[in-house]
């Protein structure tokens, strides 16, 4: 049972480049989440998806878009990366009320 | 790397000692709390949870205490081992957080636990 799988694990982008972070869960959970984690700060919610076909903004959605491709997959897209988006990104899925996290994607924007 | 752990308070303990990690939460109406453990280069891992109608809950080597009067949580780890070295953070679920898809989970910044042999 892999749980929540994120790809890639590491990525370096130049300012203005685009990329998509992939997330898949095999626990048959309805809800999925994208967070960012910055040094000395708690996890901050970017977007979430309550169920297949729905997505909603979290606390810090600017500069990001998401797609809930199916029940398993929830992707996060940076259309034009900025240095302020350098962070560690975590995907999570929920088995009420607990959330289960992937290993993260470490993104640097130069 | 360790960028997640920068600027966090650190608790240093000797292997075999008991550890107590503290957390102050923000909303007096929060009704559910979770402790997570995050090892270097990994995602947060669920440790133990507690509902607001409880004062104490025990797991395997871990105990969570909840003091609603002062909005304080603590995580006690018995007989701390080197494998316990990680960043620990608490999370609270705000009222209404069980409904719909938005978990309304608020995370603290965390405490680094360093276990020395």
Question: Does the structure show a pLDDT above 70 at B99?
Answer: no
Average pLDDT over residues A22-35: 94
The pLDDT > 90 percentage for chain B reads: 67
Contact B32 A97 (CB under 8 A): yes
Tell me what pLDDT residue A40 has. Answer: 76
Question: Does the structure show a pLDDT above 50 at B3?
Answer: no
Tell me what pLDDT residue B96 has. Answer: 61
Tell me whether A76 touches chain B (CB under 8 Å).
no
Task: Please check whether residue B76 is in contact with residue B19, taking contact to mean a CB–CB distance below 8 angstroms.
Answer: yes
Q: How far apart are CA B113 and CA A39, in angstroms?
A: 16
Task: Please check whether residue A109 is in contact with residue A16, taking contact to mean a CB–CB distance below 8 angstroms.
Answer: no
Q: Which residue in B101, B38, B107, B26 sits closest to A43, CA to CA? A: B107
Question: Does the structure show a pLDDT above 60 at A85?
Answer: yes
Question: Does the structure show a pLDDT above 90 at B93?
Answer: no
| Chain mean pLDDT for chain B | 86
Distance from CA of A26 to the nearest CA of B (A): 16
Q: How far apart are CA B12 and CA B15, in angstroms?
A: 10
Question: Does the structure show a pLDDT above 60 at B34?
Answer: yes
Contact A97 B3 (CB under 8 A): no
Contact B109 A48 (CB under 8 A): no
Question: At B108, is the pLDDT very low, low, confident or very high (cuts 50, 70, 90)?
Answer: confident
Average pLDDT over residues B27-45: 90
Q: How far apart are CA B30 and CA B105, in angstroms?
A: 10
The pLDDT tens digits for A63-75 are 999 999 899 999 9
Question: Does the structure show a pLDDT above 70 at A29?
Answer: yes
Contact B34 A98 (CB under 8 A): yes
B93 neighbourhood in chain A, CB within 8 Å: 97
């Amino acid at each position: 049972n892999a749980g929540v799988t994120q790809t890639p694990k590491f990525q370096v982008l130049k300012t203005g480049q685009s990329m998509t972070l992939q997330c898949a869960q095999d626990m048959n959970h309805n809800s999925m989440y994208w967070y960012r984690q910055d040094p000395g700060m708690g996890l901050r919610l970017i977007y979430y998806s309550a169920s297949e076909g729905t997505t909603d903004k979290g606390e810090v959605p600017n500069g990001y878009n998401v797609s809930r491709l199916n029940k398993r997959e929830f992707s996060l897209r940076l259309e034009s990366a900025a240095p302020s988006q350098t962070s560690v990104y975590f995907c999570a899925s929920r088995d009420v009320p607990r959330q289960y996290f992937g290993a993260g994607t470490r993104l640097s924007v130069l | 790397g360790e960028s997640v752990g920068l600027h966090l308070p650190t608790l240093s303990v000797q292997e075999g000692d008991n550890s107590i990690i503290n957390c102050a939460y923000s909303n007096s109406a929060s009704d559910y709390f979770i402790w997570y453990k995050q090892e270097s280069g990994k995602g947060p891992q669920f440790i133990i949870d507690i509902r607001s109608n409880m004062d104490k809950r025990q797991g395997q080597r871990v105990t969570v205490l909840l003091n609603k009067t002062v909005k304080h949580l603590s995580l006690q780890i018995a007989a701390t081992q080197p494998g316990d070295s990680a960043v620990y953070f608490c999370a609270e679920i705000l009222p209404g957080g069980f409904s719909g898809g938005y978990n309304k989970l608020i995370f603290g910044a965390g405490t680094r636990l360093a276990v020395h042999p």
